[in-house]
Structure 1
Amino acid sequence: MKKSLLWLALAAVSTPVLAQVEGVVRDPAGMPIAGATIEVVGTNIRTTANERGEFQLPQVTDKHVELHVRAPDYTHRTLHVHEGDGPVELVLSSTTLEIVNVVGLPWHASNMESAQPVNVLSGDALRERQASTLGETLKHEVGVHSSYYGPVASSPIIRGLEGPRVLVTQNGLDAGDASRVGPDHAVAAEASTARQIEILRGPATLFYGSGAIGGVVNVVDDRVPQSTDTNGEWRLQQDSVADDKLVSASGNTGIGSMGLHLDGFWREADNYKIPGAAEIETEDHEEEHDAQSSNRLANSWSEGKGFNIGASQVMDEGFVGLSYGLLDRQYGIPGHGHGGDEEVDVYADVKQHRIQFLSELSLDHDFFSASNTRFGFTDYEHSEIENGEVGTTFRNETAEARWELFHHPIAEWRGALSLHYKHSDFEAIGEEAFTPPSQTGTLALGLMEERHFGDVLVQLGARIEQVKITADNFQVDLNEHDHADDEHTEEYLRVFSIDHESTPFSASAGVVWDFTPGYNIGLSYTHAERTPSAAELLSFGPHIGSGLYEVGALLQLVEDEDGEFHFDLARHDLELETSNNIDISLRKFEGDFGFILNAFYNRIDNYYYLAETGLTRESGHDHDHGDEEDAHDHSSELPVFIYQARDAELYGFETEFVWQLSAPFKLSLTSDYIRAQLVDGGDLPRIPPLRVGARAEYETGNWRAELSGQHYFEQDNIGAFETSTDAYTLLDAQISYALNDGLKIYLKGNNLTDEYARVHASFLKEKAPLPARSFALGISGSF
């Protein structure tokens, strides 16, 4: 790293001004492509081709520039222009694959130009797949599944990895919620007002830190506007399965050089319908629980609203802007029945305030070409309420700043330095606070570089960070089983002060080879280290929302000769989680037939995961159902789960084939598979099964129709104390009619066969099946 920085400093010399770049963008038949976007890589300089496909860029301080050209329904193109070159002609070929520029990457690239796979959901595809949670919105993306903790608390799973390994960001900054702490915590990122959602892996994730060892889900919206153009969209929708009502709108405009943005949403849903009994007996997978006879899942309701307001100063060099957002959401947490008793009313009340400052500026400097700055502050509060009483309140204040400084080409290498700071102050307060208050601070330096060698693109990255976790009140009852009565509880209570520092290092190398027109192959290797999160280390106690008794990795479970058990401090050193991942991709992206084939192998040493012990422990509180005399009868025992660090191997594949069979008809086939095993024997728990899918799309005139199906195979590669999950098939359809240029009415049907299905990756698999057949009617508009 020191040598790289010294190399950059020595190369800071003056460069002449390149003459104005101009040219034309055409298709293979010679027809102009109006509206194509032409950008100078490594700067914030861009322009748009006119109706004749012509464009003209301002002068650039460099001997040569790298242009990136894109247009809807066409492949992207990269072209190098040197000093003295005349007007350029750029030819873009048509494509049947969706090629989208990726905002979350430090360099300009599309999902077809990265060494590792990148999924991007945007435009009409995003609008058609929007759901009440981020996980459910993305669950049909190849390689992405949903944890499914009810219709609101569902997070994305990327190649079998989730929780603190998958970072969720809003415009490149941490969402700042508590969703990485527990599966019952909703992600505080709203998909209904997003412009696109990106799933990143590989070298680009180094810019985000060790919390992105499994990937990054970046939700991109326009809360900080980047232009003064006037545009917007709105949507009204009602879904039958839970009487789910949604109203959302967003819009941008400008006053002079000031860009303005406003968006908002309101959503309300009842308990959703289910096609069978909610709960099944874990002892006998075929015997249905009699406690739930209703055709709706208790505690699956939700209410939510929020808005974002932002403004920015737009200049020729880029933009500088600020936004404020408020999220207010309440949602039920299913799965809290107790034997034959009535369902316990458990729900979450979430409020979040968020401030973001974003700037992207081109620099008139001999060495540096652009500077991107991102700052965010998030104040998050989440209360878990049981029968009207607050059990636990989670608070998280997160301050984050990232500065990316791009340099002019050095021996044709382009790249950027990244300085990243993040501080999180997290606390859980209340009777069931299963983790102590803690502070996590990160300071990191990263370097990303890329260079074209003819048809080969090389991408390199490295990042080193200092991570510090502190907690002053880590309370553990080490020998509770020895208590003769409650009077002796205090003498066994231990209070510890935790101050843990680590220095994770990550590096990656990847190549993309355009070995023939319309095809490329990507190969990458990534070494990444991760400090386990505060929740993984310090948890100890009942978690009301998840229905678990969670124990952190700093403790170990000790079973006694009499069959009792207690907890003691772990006697092993705390190790960093270390991942070594190899990825290979083959892509065809020109013409009426395209495909993407991915294969990966990921060896993770000291893989921290929540393992079931087969033991139970009293929750430590009573479930009062209104009868004080019987309150003690409702005290529950929770299954004990403990975080363990074991070596693991994860490998699998992802495939996507797309045919444009005729002008109106398109067919897509997809599949993905993840195999996750412990190196010393056994399977990891809650790993999604093999999946295959098909989608047929038909579009003619103002009409558009789509029929899709996803088949999930039986999952019988299961971890300790897990049960297998039956196969199931989900069939969906939708039809829409464009009333005019921006107005559309649509009807969507989900789970048309009313399949009785359960998600293997969910902690609620035994208690919460997927929703029954549903129909959603909506109208949307854009301007």
Structure 2
Amino acid sequence: MKPSLLCLAILAASHAALAQVQGVVRDEQGLPIAGAQVDVVGSKLRTTTNERGEFNLPQLTDEHVELHVKAPQFTHRTLHVHRGDGPVELVLASTALEVVNVIGLPWHASNMESAQPVNVLTGDKLRDRQASTLGETLKHEVGVHSSYYGPVASSPIIRGLEGPRVLVAQNGLDAGDASRVGPDHAVATEASTARQIEILRGPATLFYGSGAIGGVVNIVDDRVPQGTDTYGEWRVEHNSVADDKLVSASGNTGIGNLGLHLDGFWRDADDYKIPGPAETHADGEEEIHGKRLENSFTEAKGLNLGASLMFDDGYVGLAYGRLERQYGIPGHSHHSDEADAEEIAVYADLKQDRVQLISELNLDDPLFSAMNLRLGFTNYEHSEIEAGTPVTTFTNETREARWELFHHPLAEWRGAISFHAKHSDFSALGEEAFTPPSSTNTLALALMEERHFGSLLVQLGARIEQVKIEADNFTADLNRHDHAEGEHGEEYLSVFSVDHKSTPFSASAGVVWDFTPGYNLGISYSHAERTPSAAELLSFGPHLGSGMYEVGALLRVLEDESGDYYFDLARADLELETSNNLDISLRKFEGDFGFIINAFYNSIDNYYYLAETGATYASSHNHGDETDHGHEHSEELPVFVYQAQDADLYGFETEFIWQATAPLKLSLTSDYIRARLDEGGDLPRIPPFRIGARAEYSLGNWHAEISSQYYFEQDRIGPLETRTDGYTLLDAQVSYAFSDGLKIYLKGNNLTDEYARVHASFLKDKAPLPARAFAVGITGNF
């Protein structure tokens, strides 16, 4: 017997009455792994291995426990131990893939152990890719694209779905902004101070509710400390493309049993440089407005303060955050009058206050082993300002609570009961308010369970929720004629109340099969239902962010005998949007070569989307301050109405990584999405097929990488869309790390100065991607 195991055996014998779990963690060569983390699944108990790879867990109350062991650059390992077993020995295999625990899932799993595909962006990889918006930060992740509303308001698109189908969460709770309503609304989160960003692809309604029928992006930070250790990081960066300056810092420490956190950031950027004309038209004609995209500036700052009280059985903590952001809205401007061609730019002024309480506690209870509680309150406001005057103001006040109770193993099934409540008061007031004030209330109950059957891991879950949407002042001109010629005609305004109730149900079943060492196969099926959002139901007005006159699903557009159109109430009952999604994942995660191959098929009944009506609406706007009558500007907007049709979305995602030599790592990625209506026709703004390649080289303190992404032509388009040419983006970076935690770096983006447009963007014809850019920075950690 090896000396370390002999020592552990003697120690175990002398403390048999305590029923401790002890062992040693080694690599494939038999060398000890120091600093490996050992967790008892279903509780807050954890420890780390010493320099000899040994660990020792305290007394356990359960007859049977599940250990989860992880260490950097190694695969994770799960081991089942019965109370009274002797010392255990675990061997971790090296891996070329990055294996990270997923915090946004209720069960203890890494991105390689989940039945549903999960991406995790963390560490240096997150810092290297962070940008001014969430969408641009995540756009290189497989299966994820950016809506690209310039560099100011881009949101993530997951497998062709976005907006109200993709939930953006902060530490597991809704971000509580207005970004799911319009593409020109910024996501109220910041990546520069995040610890990791998790992307749950496919329906995640089981964990987060019907607003996550397309997936979840969960931004995880340390604003609520989980310990009293002292650590932190800071960064200073300058980017040439927009004279973009960033300063960010975060730190945690502790005093006694009190954990403390502070982080903040400041960002300032001018209009960004573009490699060609800003605007292009369907006839191919291009408009040149200089070498920068007008009104694409951004200024932002934020601060988070947090404190937690530590107990032997867990912690409870509270955090307050403040975010302020001012940004231009590219493509959103008006002429001052017909005689004067001067344009008045519109910009947004965003403010958000957020309070979060997070508690994780072990329980001394015969039935329940642990309890997690998350409470959040968000007060959000952003105003769109023209000529110094707010013309439209959006507000969203959100209160949310999530309570999870984890039970002890029952017939070796582990799981939790989740109670979830959320209340949102949303309003849009002003000239371009296209939705009435409304409130949305959600109450939900969910059950999630998992069990190992030898080499099989089975994950099951179900969720039932009640959603209630209320609006007391839904106003629409139900019999307004002659708009096809741009004439206003006579108005007949109708005002009525809306009280829409629904009961979405979601269920999922997944299996992860470790069919041979170093490989697994994940298969999951999800049935998810979604209540249409308040905007999809109640919209009625010009939405200049999308360039449409949007009409909600509670209304319909009709045509009379003379060919004029008018609006009327929809007579049919509203159906829930229902997704039946199948995911298959094949993973190889041990050794110098690894891969992940995902295939998905998503059949959606009653898919709510903006359908073209063929009509146009003459939208009038006044601008000027209150002491001046201002000038009225009128423009024709195409009328689109939210309709429900069956649709199919399917595709694949691949990632191959090869650690060719100790310093050289090569990777190849690709993803493809096909989205069609069952009755014929393509869904609009679906990202094209793309492939990417990356080479990384590390030698001593130096690290360098070069990457390229090729986006194919997109000619499968929806109504009023135009095809988008393919393009190639080439990026590179080099960095040098000093021994004291300092690192300096130089990054280059779009090195070939490619003139490219994003097909998924509402601004495709107005905002090309940035020109060649160089960023230099310095970062440090302690």
TM-score category (smaller protein): over 0.9
AA at the equivalent of 1:701: G
Q: 1: distance between equivalents of 2:667 and 2:603?
A: 31
Q: 2: distance between equivalents of 1:392 and 1:650?
A: 35
**CA deviation vs aligned residue, 1:464-508 (integer Å, no higher than 9, x gap):** 001000000000011222699999856x00011000100000000
Indicate conservation of the 8 Å contact 1:332/1:347, yes or no: yes
1:288 corresponds to: 286
Indicate conservation of the 8 Å contact 1:202/1:508, yes or no: no
Cα drift, residue 548 of structure 1: 2.6
1:701 corresponds to: 700
1:40 corresponds to: 40
AA at the equivalent of 2:79: L
**TM-score under structure 2 normalisation?**
0.95
1:314 corresponds to: 310
**CA deviation vs aligned residue, 1:75-133 (integer Å, no higher than 9, x gap):** 00000001221111111000000100000010110000000110000000000000001
**CA deviation vs aligned residue, 1:356-394 (integer Å, no higher than 9, x gap):** 000011111111111000000000001111222211101
**CA deviation vs aligned residue, 1:331-366 (integer Å, no higher than 9, x gap):** 000013569944431111100000000001111111
AA at the equivalent of 1:658: I
Q: 2: distance between equivalents of 1:319 and 1:215?
A: 29
2:470 corresponds to: 470
Cα drift, residue 625 of structure 1: 11
Q: 2: distance between equivalents of 1:221 and 1:630?
A: 46
Cα drift, residue 36 of structure 1: 0.7
AA at the equivalent of 2:286: E
Q: 1: distance between equivalents of 2:205 and 2:62?
A: 29
Question: Which aligned pairs between 1:490-569 and structure 2 lie closer than 5 A?
Answer: 492-569=492-569
Q: Are the structure 2 counterparts of residues 748 and 626 from structure 1 closer, same or farther at C-alpha, using a change threshold of 3 Å?
A: farther
1:207 corresponds to: 207
Which secondary structure state, in structure 1, belongs to the residue aligned with residue 621 of structure 2? Answer: coil
2:155 corresponds to: 155
Q: 2: distance between equivalents of 1:417 and 1:43?
A: 15
Which secondary structure state, in structure 1, belongs to the residue aligned with residue 207 of structure 2? Answer: helix
Indicate conservation of the 8 Å contact 1:391/1:544, yes or no: no
Could you tell me which runs of 5 or more consecutive residues in structure 2 were left unpaired when the two chains were aligned.
Answer: 1-15
1:222 corresponds to: 222
**CA deviation vs aligned residue, 1:383-437 (integer Å, no higher than 9, x gap):** 1112222111011000000000000111100000000000001111112211011
1:673 corresponds to: 672
Q: 1: distance between equivalents of 2:463 and 2:87?
A: 40
Which secondary structure state, in structure 1, belongs to the residue aligned with residue 631 of structure 2? Answer: helix
Q: 2: distance between equivalents of 1:680 and 1:102?
A: 39
Q: Are the structure 2 counterparts of residues 356 and 325 from structure 1 closer, same or farther at C-alpha, using a change threshold of 3 Å?
A: same
Q: 2: distance between equivalents of 1:406 and 1:170?
A: 22
Cα drift, residue 624 of structure 1: 5.8
Query: Structure 1 residue 323 and structure 2 residue 281: aligned?
Result: no
Question: Which aligned pairs between 1:623-638 and structure 2 lie closer than 5 A?
Answer: 631-632=631-632, 634-638=633-637
Q: Are the structure 2 counterparts of residues 209 and 487 from structure 1 closer, same or farther at C-alpha, using a change threshold of 3 Å?
A: closer
Select between 341-350 and 315-324 the one with higher mean Cα deviation: 341-350
AA at the equivalent of 1:151: P
Q: CA RMSD in A?
A: 2.0
Cα drift, residue 71 of structure 1: 0.6
**TM-score under structure 1 normalisation?**
0.95
Indicate conservation of the 8 Å contact 1:105/1:204, yes or no: no
Q: 2: distance between equivalents of 1:730 and 1:614?
A: 37
Select between 560-569 and 176-185 the one with higher mean Cα deviation: 560-569
Cα drift, residue 559 of structure 1: 2.6
2:126 corresponds to: 126
AA at the equivalent of 2:750: N
Indicate conservation of the 8 Å contact 2:504/2:576, yes or no: yes
Indicate conservation of the 8 Å contact 1:248/1:264, yes or no: yes
2:13 corresponds to: none
Cα drift, residue 207 of structure 1: 1.6
Cα drift, residue 616 of structure 1: 2.5
The runs of 4+ residues in structure 1 deviating greater than 4 Å are 202-205, 337-340, 482-490, 623-630
Indicate conservation of the 8 Å contact 2:100/2:111, yes or no: yes
Cα drift, residue 168 of structure 1: 0.4
2:332 corresponds to: 336
Query: Structure 1 residue 65 and structure 2 residue 62: aligned?
Result: no
Indicate conservation of the 8 Å contact 1:18/1:63, yes or no: no
Could you tell me which runs of 5 or more consecutive residues in structure 1 were left unpaired when the two chains were aligned.
Answer: 1-15
Which secondary structure state, in structure 2, belongs to the residue aligned with residue 336 of structure 1? Answer: strand
Q: 1: distance between equivalents of 2:99 and 2:149?
A: 32
Indicate conservation of the 8 Å contact 2:102/2:111, yes or no: yes
Which secondary structure state, in structure 2, belongs to the residue aligned with residue 778 of structure 1? Answer: strand
1:4 corresponds to: none
Higher percent of residues as strand: 2
Question: Which aligned pairs between 1:324-723 and structure 2 lie closer than 5 A?
Answer: 324-336=320-332, 341-481=341-481, 492-622=492-622, 631-632=631-632, 634-723=633-722
**CA deviation vs aligned residue, 1:585-638 (integer Å, no higher than 9, x gap):** 000000000000000000000001123434321222135699989934x42222
1:6 corresponds to: none
1:13 corresponds to: none
AA at the equivalent of 2:210: S
1:738 corresponds to: 737
Question: Which aligned pairs between 1:237-316 and structure 2 lie closer than 5 A?
Answer: 237-282=237-282, 284=283, 286-289=284-287, 292-316=288-312
Q: 1: distance between equivalents of 2:575 and 2:105?
A: 30
Q: 1: distance between equivalents of 2:204 and 2:672?
A: 23
Q: 1: distance between equivalents of 2:629 and 2:374?
A: 56
Q: 1: distance between equivalents of 2:60 and 2:502?
A: 42
Q: 2: distance between equivalents of 1:227 and 1:731?
A: 41
Q: 1: distance between equivalents of 2:715 and 2:17?
A: 64
Q: 2: distance between equivalents of 1:354 and 1:433?
A: 24
Q: 1: distance between equivalents of 2:344 and 2:636?
A: 14
Percent of pairs with identical residues: 77
**CA deviation vs aligned residue, 1:44-89 (integer Å, no higher than 9, x gap):** 1111111111111111211110000101100000000012211111
Indicate conservation of the 8 Å contact 1:625/1:631, yes or no: no
2:747 corresponds to: 748
Q: 1: distance between equivalents of 2:540 and 2:695?
A: 49
